[in-house]
Amino acid sequence: MRSLQSSKIRDFCRQLFGSPVSSVLTLVILVALGSSIYFLWNWSISEAIFRADLEACTNNEFGACWGFVTEKWRLIIFGRYPYDMQWRPALATALVIAMLIISAFPQTWTKKGCKILCAGWVLALLLFFILMEGGIAGLPTVESDSWGGLPLTVILTLIGMTASAPIGILLAIGRRSKLVIIRSLSIGYIELVRGVPLITVLFFATFIFPLILPAGWRIDPFWRIVIGIVLFQAAYMAETVRGGLQTIPKGQFDVSDSLGMNRVQTYLYIILPQALVKIIPAFVNSLLSTFMDTSLVTIVSMYDLTGSLRLALGDPEWRNFFLEGYLFIALIYFVSSFVMSRYSIWLEKYVQTKEQKAELMIS
C-alpha cells in the first residue's frame, strides 16, 4: 500500500516538474495562487470590518466591509416583510428546509415512510403559507407583494420543480405518443415555451394574463408567477425526461406487453422508474437553473434574494459596499447549489448500488 502511494506521489511530482517548461509553469501558478490567497485573506478577514460601523468602513481602504451585511442582513434575507414579524418567514422557511432534509434520507422512502412524508409536506406547506400570509390564528395579514428574500426563493424553486415534474413527464410521453393530436400538441407546447425566455413568460403572467381573465376574477401576483415558472420549467423537464425515455430499450415494452400490461402500467411500473434514475444529473441541473432563475422575478416587482439585496443597496450611505453584499448572496447560492449537487451524486450512486444488488439477487 505504501509503495503504491509513493508511486502515485512520484508520478504526480513528475507531471509538475518533469521538464523545465512544466517546472516554470508550476512555480508561476503556485506563486500566483499563493499571492491570491494572501490578498483574499487580508481583504476578507485580516483587514475587514465586521461590525456595522459606517465610519470605520468608509475609512478602511484595504479591507472588506462586512458591516454592510451585519447592518442589512435582515432586509437581504427577508426582503420587504414587516421587520417586527420576520420570525414568521424564518420559521416557515425552516419548516420547509427541515422537510427537505428529512426527505433526503432513504430510510423515509418505504411505503409507510412515503405516507408520513406526504402528510408532513402537506402540513409544512400549509404552515408555510399560514405563517407567510397570516389572517388567521391572530396573525396579521401580510400581502404576497411584501414577501421576498430567501423564503420567496425557496418556495418558488420548490413549487416550480415539484409541480413541473409531473407535467413534464406527461409532455414527454405525449411527444412519443402514436396519437397525432396528442403528439402535435405536446411538441407545439414544448417548442413554443422553449422558444421564449423566462422573463417573457413572467411578464405575460404578471401583466397580460390578468387582462384576459373574466371580469371579477383575480389571481394573486405570487400565484401568477408560480404558474409562469411551472409552465416554463415543464417544457424543459419534458425534454429531460424524453432523453431518459430514449435510453430504455424497446424490448422493455415487449416484455410489458407479454405480461399483459396496458400502456399506463408499462410506463408507471417499468419505463419511468428506469428513465428517471438516468436523468438524475439533468434533473439537478434543472433544479439549480430554477433556483438561480428566481432572481428574474425582480422584473415583475417581487424581490427574491437578489432583489432584496438591491433594496438594501438603496441606502445611499451603504451603497458603495455592494461587492460585499453580492459576495454574501453568492455564498448562499454557492452553498445551496453545492449541497444539491453533492447529494445528486450520492443519490445516483445509491440507486445504482441498489440496482446492482437487485440484479445479483435475481441472478
How far is CA 264 from each of CA 32, 74, 250, 268, rounded to the nearest angstrom?
A: 59, 49, 16, 6
Residue 144 DSSP class = G
Domain borders along the chain are 15-46, 47-81+142-362
Please check whether residue 94 is in contact with residue 163, taking contact to mean a CB–CB distance below 8 angstroms: no
Residues of the chain scoring pLDDT < 70: 1-8, 10-13, 15-16, 358-363
Which residue in 269, 266, 273 sits closest to 250, CA to CA? Answer: 266
pLDDT digits (tens, 9 = 90+) for 293-328: 888 888 888 888 999 999 999 888 898 899 999 999
Give the pLDDT score at 1: 53
Please check whether residue 293 is in contact with residue 233, taking contact to mean a CB–CB distance below 8 angstroms: no
Cβ-count burial 198-229 (b if 16+ within 10 Å, e if not)? beebbbebbeeeeeeeeeeeeeebbebbbbbb
pTM to 2 decimal places: 0.87
- Give all strands (DSSP E) within the chain, no chain letters: 148, 303-304
Q: Which CATH architecture has domain 47-81+142-362?
A: Orthogonal Bundle (1.10)
Amino acid, res. 272:
L
- Sign of the four-CA dihedral 208, 214, 220, 225: negative
Please check whether residue 151 is in contact with residue 132, taking contact to mean a CB–CB distance below 8 angstroms: yes
How far is CA 220 from each of CA 125, 164, 227, 305, rounded to the nearest angstrom?
A: 17, 20, 11, 20
How far is CA 93 from each of CA 78, 117, 345, rounded to the nearest angstrom?
A: 10, 17, 25
Question: If you write DSSP's letter for every residue of 282-346 in order, what string do you get?
Answer: HHHHHHHHHHHHGGGGGGGT-EEHHHHHHHHTTSTTTGGGHHHHHHHHHHHHHHHHHHHHHHHHH
Give the pLDDT score at 328: 94
